[in-house]
Amino acid sequence: MSSLDGLRGVAALVVVGFHLSQLSPFVAQYTIDKGPAPGAFTPLWWAVATPLRLFTAGDEAVFVFFVLSGLVLTLPVLRQRNFDWLRFLSARALRLFLPVAASVLLATAITYMWTRSPDPTLSSWLSEPYNALSILPGQLLLNMDLVFSDMTVNGPTWTIRWEMLFSLLLPVILGLGIAVRSRWQVGLVLIASVIVVGLQFGVSSLVFLPIFAIGVILALRLRNISSAYLACQIARPRLTSVLVVFSVAAALALLATTAVIRPYVDPSGTIAITARVATIFGAALLVALIAVVWPARGCLSHSVALWLGKISFSLYLVHQPILATFGFAIGGANWPLAAALGSVASIGTAYVFWRFVENPSHRLARTFGSWVADSTTKLTAKYGGGATSH
């Protein structure tokens, strides 16, 4: 499903767009400093309180990433009769660790290349805890732990904790998904309920891990959904086209829910929590539509989108320390110049990082996974067979 690669590339660009917007002291005053809601129809209002916010909606893009991971990690399990879990988990852990560790080292090096100091004219995003002013050796070592430590050196790597935990818990989550496969609606209601509890009590694991579970349920039901869509397309092509357009609009509207209502509601209140859940399910609906309706065609399968999808993980990992450095170097008054130069530098660095770090890491992870699986098989045959003979 090449379009999902394109979607991943677009989502990575949206995350970059979010951090580009945070270079603006005016945007950061609202998004970080929790300043008053912008006046209606002002430039800031259009940027942060309307559906245009989707172009810089970092959280929403992360939700898309999580649903995508749940989907694409589950599909290979369903397609192989004897799925090798040990091979998968070994390769997956190394696949995540190596690029993230390299990005943390890169972020540390970049931080020391240009002196960072507090400046009231800069965006509040260019300060701790969003961007480190200095990095100690102990802090660097802690950021090599992808599960238990807070990722303070390179901001976007906070999501890798949940990617890693989901990968380790995939057998359990998949088992639960299979248990509710025939009653998937009940499964989605349970997932929504868990997310609400997590949001209400501030339990991150109850918010983020269930988002992956939505992707798992989508993978379990993908063939059924695709068959239903093809049947409708054959029987009622015009009506189906109208429903697709309506569904895409609904997915984008749900994605924009939190951004649109945020200036006007209590962020910890019932309305805000409901909007957050709607946003998460908007991300899931968007992924489902692209996976079913345009699996291998459309603008997301264009060569540019696919190229962005190829480097998306690298772009996600390297862009923030680069943008922050340009922000510190150029200053708050000239933040548009810092954003322009930083975005170009981020994409260029991402390609280099993909070629010399991520892609080799991926190959090494596959080799490592195969070696672990083969070695375990040999040891089991040797010692298990010996025990049986006695």
pLDDT (tens digit, 9 = 90+) per residue, 207-237? 999 999 999 999 999 999 999 999 999 999 9
How would residue 386 be classed by pLDDT, with cut points 50, 70 and 90? low
- Alpha helices in 114-266, H assignment, sequence order: 137-142, 158-179, 184-201, 204-235, 237-255, 257-261
Q: How long, in residues, is the chain?
A: 390
Q: 197 vs 146, 166, 189, 209, 277, CA distance in Å?
A: 25, 19, 12, 13, 11
Tell me what pLDDT residue 372 has: 94
| pTM recorded for the entire structure | 0.94
Does 200 score more than 70 pLDDT?
A: yes
Output the six-digit token pair for 106: 């890169």
Does 338 score more than 90 pLDDT?
A: yes
Percentage of the chain beyond pLDDT 70 is 98
Question: For tokens 């680069």, what's the residue?
Answer: 322
Output the six-digit token pair for 167: 């990968």
Q: 3-state SS of the chain: helix, strand, coil percent to 5?
A: 80, 0, 20
Tell me what pLDDT residue 317 has: 97
Name which of 308, 296, 388, 314 is nearest 358 in CA terms. 314
Does 147 score more than 80 pLDDT?
A: yes
Tell me what pLDDT residue 385 has: 59
Percentage of the chain beyond pLDDT 90 is 75
